[in-house]
Structure 1
């Protein structure tokens, strides 16, 4: 993983297009890249805040400074990992704005987590179903349900400009981690195909740079996942194997510190293949079905 050169624009307001500004939170890491990017939508009157980020005093102060005297119509969360939604509550308390967006989710995974854990405190005032919209004076955001990275993940389409706020579902710097049991590879691929069929102009992810060729990227991501699936099947054709043996073969060029995350994605692929009756598990070993 290669980070861009410092200094990063932490706490600064970046104008991306007439209706969209961005503020970077100070939470860089192997799963957040340079940090969570919070988006402010609207130029005239009430704003929407997308993915308010971690409950961090420095980031909250930067958001409030960026908002200034403008009212906030909605605080929108794409999903409830702790690098995305915890700042919703203090921001709502400071602005009086409702929290609107993804559904709440509390789920423990088996074994140590390798991505950000879920925000147990998230309590939305309104959940947006797929295709539902909310509007301000000069903007309309429509929910696009994209389960897979998490079961409650949702993107937001800005109808006035063709931009899509993609949270962690599609990122320009890395593929998304899919961690069972809540993360679901079949759902993730279906959600990628759903976005592939859309005509969005640009993606604004929660981590990393904007994506200026969205359909090209989603096509490549689908191809990458299908290639990983074929790789697993080839390895299992040679001999039954445990995930711990598959990961070193599949991720030879990847930093070993990321192998636990890679193992979770391999597990997600195997569960999908098992549900399609292509493989079966026998204890820790996975075997291809003849």
Structure 2
């Protein structure tokens, strides 16, 4: 039986991602982004890929959501459906009509509305297109790890990559050793994760697959060297883990999350507002992930409203 996804509305930023620090960072990043065309043929120099921009630029969406038409024949596969802006469906259906192309399958990277919001408009255009997603909604088909979808000129292999969302999936284009990365890896900057532990494992899995070419992200320009960018993502997360473990190891017997934040971020953590919105959510994710991996432990100290969780390095671990 298909399982229900979360409510099909755009997720609201929470914690660090609703902070003024994050907003300022995104604003700066957005001002530096290259311009992308609404429709880009031979995207990433591939004759197999046409990119359609979702028409929804924004702080979290960068230039907008990327959707991709994959293949070389009269029947092709569509990856993601944008957010539902009229320009997207007009550009897509106009291209299909002009080139006498139909869509054999829709593959969704994950449930977030900026990747699925245009689906209803597409199905009004052609209600018989099968839709596939990991953890599918009613009427959709499930994706299985390793599942193959073929069309003229293209073979796509499913790679389940939870972390950014529980149902996230990527797709490898076998003919070119490239990957459609959804929101696991972006064309600019770094992505965010619902489950940091699962996300980190998914990044490592993506790296082990050995795709030697480009990455086609859910947001941003084509990633020209996907292995290098995956290495950067993995290194960034590993460095944060080492920093947290090092702080805990050097300050026995244990530290609260506030103590860890002060030692790592200094003045940024000294303001309660800054700490609660910009530091605590990130550190909590890292600490609980390290605890799941047996690298750190914690204990509750005190009683009642004053009870606090104190963290420490597990002695068998080396930093």
TM range (shorter): 0.7 to 0.9
From the superposition, tell whether residues 231 and 144 of structure 1 become closer, same or farther in structure 2 (CA, over 3 Å): same
Which of 175, 187, 198 is residue 198 of structure 2 equivalent to?
Answer: 187
Report the Cα distance in structure 1 between the residues aligned to 2:80 and 2:150, rounded to whole angstroms. Answer: 17
Partner of 2:163: 148
The residue number in structure 1 matching 2:112 is 81
Using the TM superposition, give the Cα deviation of residue 247 of structure 1 relative to its aligned residue in structure 2, in angstroms: 8.4
Q: Which residue of 1 aligns with 2:38?
A: 11
CA deviation after TM superposition for structure 1 residue 234, in Å: 3.2
Contact 1:10 1:26 in 2 (8 A): no
Of 4-13 and 163-172, the range deviating more from structure 2: 4-13
| Unaligned ranges ≥5, structure 2 | 1-24, 301-306, 315-319
Aligned equivalent of 2:242 = 230
Give the match for residue 38 of structure 1.
67
Q: Which residue does the alignment assign to 1:266?
A: 283
Task: Please state how far the C-alpha of 1:77 moved relative to its aligned partner.
Answer: 0.6
Q: Structure 1 residue 4: deviation in Å?
A: 5.4
Q: State the Cα distance separating 1:36 from its structure 2 match.
A: 0.7
Q: How many residues align?
A: 267
CA-to-aligned-CA distance 1:196-254 (integer Å, 9 cap, x gap): 1122111101111212222222122111101111222234444623369728944989x
- Pairwise CA distance, 1:79: 0.6
Q: What secondary structure is seen at the aligned counterpart in 1 of 2:116?
A: coil
Q: Any idea what SS the aligned residue of 1:143 has?
A: strand
**Structure whose residues are more often helix by fraction:** 2
2:219 is aligned to: 207
Closer/same/farther in 2, CA of residues 289 and 235 from structure 1, 3 Å limit: closer
| Residue 94 (str. 1) matches residue 118 (str. 2) | no
Larger Rg: 2
Shift of 1:281: 5.5
**Residue of structure 2 aligned with 1:138, choices 140, 146, 153:** 153
- The answer on whether the counterparts of 2:257 and 2:284 sit within 8 Å (CA) in structure 1 is no
Conserved 8 A contact 2:257-2:283: no
Distance 1:6 1:176, change over 3 A: closer
CA distance in 2, matches of 1:12, 1:262: 39
Task: Return 146-155 or 268-277, whichever deviates more.
Answer: 268-277
Looking at structure 2, the residues matched to 202 and 89 of structure 1 have their Cα atoms a distance apart, in angstroms, of: 30
Q: Relative to 1, partners in 2 of residues 1:37 and 1:234: Cα closer, same or farther, differing over 3 Å?
A: same
Q: CA RMSD in A?
A: 2.9
Alpha-carbon distance change, 137 to 37 in structure 1, aligned in 2, over 3 angstroms: same
C-alpha distance in structure 2 between counterparts of 1:23 and 1:74, whole Å: 16
Q: How far apart, in 2, do the equivalents of 1:262 and 1:210 lie?
A: 31
Q: Is the 8 A contact 2:247 2:263 kept in 1?
A: no
Q: Against the structure 1 CA distance between its residues 44 and 251, is the aligned structure 2 distance closer, same or farther, given a 3 Å change threshold?
A: farther
Residue of structure 1 equivalent to 2:3: none
Structure 1 residues 223 and 135: CA distance shift in structure 2, 3 A: same
Alpha carbons 2:244, 2:260 under 8 Å: kept: no
Contact 1:243 1:266 in 2 (8 A): no
Tell me, yes or no, if the aligned pair for 1:178 and 1:265 is still in contact at 8 Å: no
Secondary structure class of the residue paired with 1:191: helix
